[in-house]
Amino acid sequence: MTTRTTVAALTLAATLSLPLGQAGAQTPPPIRPDSAPVTMDDARRIAAGHGVIRVEEIKLDDGRWEIEGRDALGAEIEIELSARDGSVVKIERERPASAALGQP
């Protein structure tokens, strides 16, 4: 192997072993409950705006606030909110027991 080929091979190997730099920095860091742009109190207010009158569980998981609670009729409501901007990602409502009473 010539000196020129050896230098080229070493340069290529060194370049390929460098960290990806900006590519690794593009993934945002995980959101912690104490640093989320949407606070737990904000999440509770947003959930209340969607009918949750009693929050039974609230947690921050994978960049989303997950709120489980009950509406005025006692039906279960599960809401997922973006912790970055408070937008509603998902709402699931259980049919209230009182609605089932009116069915034959």
Which CATH number characterizes residue 55's domain?
3.10.450.40
Q: Does residue 76 form part of some domain? A: yes
Q: What is the tally of structural domains in the chain? A: 1
Q: Does residue 9 form part of some domain? A: no
Residues 14-54: tens digit of each pLDDT: 555 555 555 445 666 666 666 669 999 999 999 999 999 99
Q: Does residue 11 form part of some domain? A: no
Residues 6+ apart with CB under 8 A from 89: 64, 80, 81, 82
pLDDT at 101: 60
Q: Does residue 61 form part of some domain? A: yes
For residue 71, what is the DSSP state?
-
pTM of the model: 0.61
